[in-house]
Amino acid sequence: MMRQKVLVAVDAGGSKTEYGIRSLSGGDVRHYVYGGSNYKSVGLEKAYSNLVTSFHTACKAEGLSLEDIHGAVFGLAGCDTTEDMRVFRELVEAIGLDDAKTAIYNDCELAFLATAKAPGFCVVAGTGSNCMAFHPKKPVTKAGGLGALLSDGGSGFWIAQKVMRDMLMFCDGSGPNRHIYDGVLKHFGIDSFSSVHLHFAPMGVPEIASCAQVILDYAKEGDTYAREVAHAAHLELWELAITAVGRMEYSPEEALNVVLNGSLFKNEWFLEQFWGGLVERISNPLQQHLITANTSENAMCLAESLYGRNT
């Protein structure tokens, strides 16, 4: 009896790695979520373990072997340079997939290609951030996305780090107390300010970034300090978009498709403020495409266009 072939779509970010698996003949996409696989956020060893182990775990849950996979698409946060592509190619090869069955993209690139058509650009704002601009007749231009230490302005990590640094200053006696700090304590399950240092010190990028939604919730409710931080994040993200779009040199009348992806855009207030400022700063007509479904759903659309789908 011939086994059913499947398509696999992978969205690997700093905080989570999400899988979508669907039969080549159609049907529902089954989703699986595991730990982050962006080596710039979690380290190379952990990224290797998370990506390789989670891929086989998801396949096992579906009762699949590698031979059952007709094609796989990977959207990888942190895959920004030629060296990054080499690193991630080695990670994907370690899974055991045939090169002919796999396609690897930067997460921003995948989000745009699976959602809209050029000309246009994509802004990703999740654990990290980046922007890529696309044109049918020109090379891709990009800005940001080079990791939390030197880049990723306006990202979830960037927002949370700003607030958590100020919170540490308060704990040291050199900054004001703010209402939002109570929400941060609650988010991390910390009993008192006296133990904040012990809890914050060992945190990595994904755990720190997880606090960004708390901060944006305060901003949505009108907290002045939270809104100041969120506005500073908007400025960073607007600059990424202006840079990528400016380098592309679109003609002024070209209508641009704008794909927005990432956890920060799930906050309605943050999205509304970002979009309003973006329209003011980029003179081209803009059409918003907000990704609201599981990101692996978008990767699945691209997998189907690349590897076909039986009907």
Confidence at residue 200, expressed as pLDDT on a 0 to 100 scale: 97
Distance CA 168, CA 231 (A): 21
Confidence at residue 310, expressed as pLDDT on a 0 to 100 scale: 54
Q: Which 8-state DSSP code applies to residue 24?
A: T
Percentage of the chain lying above the pLDDT 70 cut:
98
Average pLDDT over residues 54-83: 91
Confidence at residue 129, expressed as pLDDT on a 0 to 100 scale: 94
Higher pLDDT, 94 or 299: 94
- The candidate with the shortest Cα–Cα distance to 234, out of 269, 206, 183, 187, is 269
Phi-psi group of 120: left, alpha or beta (phi > 0 → left; psi -120 to 50 → alpha; rest → beta): left
Average pLDDT over residues 264-270: 97
Confidence at residue 301, expressed as pLDDT on a 0 to 100 scale: 83
Residue 311 has pLDDT above 50, yes or no: no
CB 134 within 8 A of CB 21: no
Write the pLDDT tens digit of every residue in 205-227: 989 999 999 999 999 999 999 99
Residue 14 has pLDDT above 90, yes or no: no
Residue 98 vs residues 67, 88, 93, 103, 224: alpha-carbon distances, Å: 9, 15, 8, 10, 53
Confidence at residue 36, expressed as pLDDT on a 0 to 100 scale: 87
Phi-psi group of 68: left, alpha or beta (phi > 0 → left; psi -120 to 50 → alpha; rest → beta): alpha
Helix (H) or strand (E) run with residue 55 in it: helix 44-62
To 5 degrees, how large is the angle CA 189–CA 192–CA 193? 115
Residue 1 has pLDDT above 60, yes or no: no
How confident is residue 16, by pLDDT bands cut at 50, 70 and 90? confident
For the domain 6-113+294-307, what is the CATH code? 3.30.420.40
Average pLDDT over residues 285-298: 86
How confident is residue 309, by pLDDT bands cut at 50, 70 and 90? low
Boundaries of every domain in the chain:
6-113+294-307
Sequence-distant (6+) residues with CB within 8 A of 52 are: 91, 94, 95
- The candidate with the shortest Cα–Cα distance to 122, out of 74, 77, 92, 71, is 77
Write the pLDDT tens digit of every residue in 131-144: 999 999 999 999 99
Residue 188 has pLDDT above 90, yes or no: yes
Average pLDDT over residues 174-180: 95
Q: What's the whole-model pTM score?
A: 0.87
Residue 145 has pLDDT above 90, yes or no: no
Residue 231 has pLDDT above 90, yes or no: yes
Residue 288 has pLDDT above 80, yes or no: yes
